Amino acid sequence: MQSDRKTRILIIDDDVGFRDLLRIHLAAAGYQVRVAEDGVTGGRALLEQTPDLVVSDLNMPFLDGFELLRLLHGDEETASIPVILLSGRSDGDTMAKAVELGAADYLTKPVTRDQLLESIEACLSRTKGRTNPPDYGSTPIV
């Protein structure tokens, strides 16, 4: 029997406006969404309820996206959770570090709704054996 549980996504971003916009778009796409304003709060949220995927900003106070990746991949209970990093930085060194630390994807801001949803579906497909990502229609900017 297949579960009707919605896919859980944790958004971690210190920009409240961007975080809320992501939450609205992902909830509208059918995901169960939790939000956190920094890496420390995001870590607490991870302990309370394990998400299926994390979307995290790279540059945040207290605990940045790279440090979050190190912590998640250093714990066998969270090591398999895919993490998509979002950042305004598009330099090769930053992207290479994200890949080296095990980011499932790296998206450069500004990112469109479709880019984000396609990245999420691709990451979930790799971890859950899903196929045929849904068609999301138009492309509003996130």
pLDDT at residue 23 above 70?
yes
Q: What per-residue confidence (pLDDT) applies to 22?
A: 96
pLDDT band at 5 (very low <50, low <70, confident <90, very high): confident
- Residue 19: CB atoms within 10 A of its CB come to 19
Tokens 């849904």 identify what position? 134
Residue reference for tokens 């297949």: 2
Tell me the pTM. 0.86
pLDDT per position as a tens digit, 108-128: 999 999 999 999 999 999 887
Q: How many residues does the chain have?
A: 142
